[in-house]
């Protein structure tokens, strides 16, 4: 049975675009959605695991046979994760509700997007996404060769002597939640 990604499915149903399509839109709110969704997905998994741990401890009567801190520690973890989850969900909701993103999605058809899997050490050509960081560096939308690292990418902007490091989301590198592999996106304008 294939791995289901409820966060991706929810965002696709809510916005009419996949996370990969959002990543290629020239709008910062759309470009930030894949990273925000990854954070939400991670926290959702951690919250589920902590809730399962609490349930297991209660079923095993750890609350009756061990120190109460055994259970209350897990409850505190759930409380902390719940707060972080709510903040991550609020971030995704804000990006989805962004007026510029919404108008762009209504006036521009989503692109056909294909994934190309990459490995650390690969040098690949990407179109840098319209994240705030790339816009601030005047790199957004430019086709650039990058060298993929395990958590960032190296590139040498034209006219620059020193290489620049960008975090994966700013370099147009994403992690597939089903298999953990890194990928970049290729787009075409028509369906």
- pLDDT, tens digit, 9 for 90 and up, residues 138-164: 999 999 999 999 999 999 877 778 889
* pLDDT score at 189: 54
* pLDDT score at 190: 47
* pLDDT score at 2: 44
Q: What is the mean pLDDT of residues 92-108?
A: 96
User: Is pLDDT at 45 greater than 50 in this prediction?
Assistant: yes
* pLDDT score at 65: 81
Q: Phi first, then psi: what are they for 7, rounded to 5°?
A: -70, -50
Lookup: tokens for 96: 């989805």
* pLDDT score at 162: 85
């Amino acid at each position: 049975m294939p791995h289901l990604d409820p966060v991706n499915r929810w965002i696709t149903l809510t916005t009419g675009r996949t996370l990969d399509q959002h990543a290629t839109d020239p709008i910062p709110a759309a470009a930030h959605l894949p990273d925000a969704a990854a954070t939400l997905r991670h926290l959702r998994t951690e919250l589920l695991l902590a809730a399962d741990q609490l349930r297991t401890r209660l079923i095993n009567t750890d609350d009756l046979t061990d120190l109460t801190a055994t259970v209350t520690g897990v409850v505190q973890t759930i409380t902390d994760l719940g707060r972080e989850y709510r903040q991550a969900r609020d971030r995704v909701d804000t990006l989805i509700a962004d007026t510029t993103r919404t108008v762009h999605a209504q006036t521009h058809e989503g692109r056909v997007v294909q994934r190309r899997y990459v490995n650390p050490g690969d040098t690949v050509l990407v179109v840098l996404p319209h994240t705030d960081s790339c816009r601030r560096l005047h790199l957004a939308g430019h086709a650039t060769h990058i060298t993929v690292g395990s958590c960032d990418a190296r590139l040498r902007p034209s006219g620059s002597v020193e290489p620049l490091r960008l975090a994966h989301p700013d370099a147009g590198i994403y992690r597939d939640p089903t298999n953990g592999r890194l990928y970049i996106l290729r787009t075409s304008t028509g369906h």
